[in-house]
Amino acid sequence: MATAALRRVSKVLWAGLVAAGLAGCAGQPAQAPLPAVLTAPGTEISRLTAPEAPQALAWSPDASLLAAAGSSGTQVMIWNTASGRMQWKANRAAVTGAAATDIAFTRDGLSVATPFVGVATDAPEVALTLLSVLNGKVMRTVMGKEPRGAVNQAHAFALDGDVAAVVLGGTRIGLFETQRWRLLRTIGPGVDKAGRELTYSAIALDRRRDRLAVAAGPMVQIWSLTDGQLVTEYPAYASGAVSGLAFSPADGSLLTGGTLPDGGSPADYRWNPLPDKASPPKPQAVAARLLVRRWAADSKSLMQTYAMGAGAPQDIAVSPDGQRVAVTAGKTDRTEKGFVMVWDLASGALTGGVVHDDPAPAALAFSPDSSRLAYSVGKEVVLLDLTRLPPPPPPEPAPVEVPAAPQPISP
């Protein structure tokens, strides 16, 4: 019973940690009040087992399949989401030094595309590999011209409809049409104020609005897909690096994941539960870590802040209907917890959260109809049905009072 009580205390304190992060966003758009206790954003409907921890997830267009790129950078796997059975796993490292770090289904759902990191030679460097969803065999390799000896950091990759955008050489973006996979144009390289080339680490694509977003350190750049011109750029954070980008399909706003530096605001608390003691843990004030921001398209205007407490941002996703934003964050020296959080995109209200001890969550992806959320935790992939909230936990039994032993009667 003491263990159950500590778990309840942990949930309440963790919600307080979240609230502390939100309350400290002085000058930012107001946030909705948080619930006293965190509840999962949906009902768990399945757990899929992977041969290694996934670092990227993607749903097929009809949501019948779920694909993952493994943490080793060489494994790709696909499951049937109805049965939970793995259909195949394949080693997609077609070249020495290749590393699959992201994954996406093509528009027709017949193949999955994976980028890789490698060193260019005299020949054009492979930027993407297309694998058949039936058996994992290589259907096509997509080339992007690279200078000799350049490091191909094609791990930053986005696919939207009939256009794919891939970071080439770390400093330029290759735009490919997805019918014949021809290179349409190259965007960049971007440069900083000192004239030095920027190294892009994250990318997002909005084909309908003719926009491409890339991140280099704390900076975000918005480019036009049509003419390859820089539209705007701005610092999303004071320092550090943007860890993830995602466009909202609803209004074209841009979501960025990043961190605040030490000594910044908002303040949060180190999570340090003491399972061997009956008293609740005492929070220790440190600088906040995770901060998700929503920016108006092209205008540099900050629309919303979804602040969290301690944790290293891992992945960020916006639901296809534009109603939710989800993020995973892993453990750091500041927190012994990892978590998945889901907010209402427009209001900023927290709709649910899942806290994990070890290992921490990493990759996540919404289903095409926005009704399900998949996220990885260790070698498992958890599927949540967002249309059904989990049942409330059963009430704790009332404590049983043991009557005191009768005192002996003195003679």
Question: DSSP assignment of 308-335, as one string?
Answer: -SS-EEEEEEE-TTSSEEEEEEE-BTTB
Token digits of residue 243: 């860890």
Is 112:68 a contact under the CB 8 Å cutoff?
A: no
- Cα angle 373, 241, 113 (rounded to 5 degrees) comes to 45
Instruction: Please choose, from the candidates 236, 185, 195, the residue with its C-alpha nearest in 3D space to the C-alpha of residue 213.
Output: 236
Residues whose CB is less than 8 angstroms from the CB of residue 155 and which lie 6 or more positions away in sequence, other chains included: 99, 101, 102, 115, 116, 117, 167
Strands of 50-93, DSSP E:
54-59, 65-70, 75-80, 86-91
Is 204:157 a contact under the CB 8 Å cutoff?
A: no
Indicate where the chain has its CATH 2.130.10.10 domain(s).
29-38+236-389, 57-210+225-234
Residue 124: is the preceding peptide bond cis (ω within 30°)? no
DSSP state, 378? Answer: T
DSSP state, 193? Answer: T
pLDDT at residue number 92: 62
pLDDT at residue number 349: 87
pLDDT at residue number 39: 85
Tell me how far CA of residue 291 lies from CA of 59, 205, 271, 297, in angstroms.
Answer: 26, 21, 17, 19
pTM, rounded to two decimals:
0.80
Structural fold of domain 29-38+236-389: Methylamine Dehydrogenase; Chain H (2.130.10)
- Longest C-alpha distance within the chain, in Å? 106
Query: What are the mean pLDDT values of the chain's consecutive 10-residue runs (411 residues total)?
Result: 40 42 41 57 94 94 95 88 94 55 90 71 65 90 65 71 84 88 86 82 91 92 91 87 91 87 40 33 43 85 77 84 90 68 90 82 95 95 93 73 68 62
**Which run of H or E residues covers position 185?**
strand 183-187
pLDDT at residue number 324: 95
pLDDT at residue number 116: 65
pLDDT at residue number 377: 92
DSSP helix/strand/coil, 373: strand
DSSP state, 271? Answer: B
Strand 372-377 to 361-366 pairing:
antiparallel
- Long-range Cβ contacts of 1-4 (<8 Å, 24+ apart): 1/396, 1/397, 1/399, 2/278, 3/275, 4/396
Instruction: For residue 13, count CB atoms less than 10 angstroms from its CB and return exposed for 0-12, middle for 13-18, buried for 19 or more.
Output: middle
Instruction: For residue 410, count CB atoms less than 10 angstroms from its CB and return exposed for 0-12, middle for 13-18, buried for 19 or more.
Output: exposed
Alpha-carbon 396 to chain mean position: 35
Alpha-carbon 262 to chain mean position: 22
Place of tokens 């390289």: 189
Class of domain 57-210+225-234: mainly beta
Q: In the sheet that 104-105 helps form, which strands lie side by side, from edge to edge?
A: 104-105, 111-115, 125-132, 138-144
Alpha-carbon 82 to chain mean position: 24
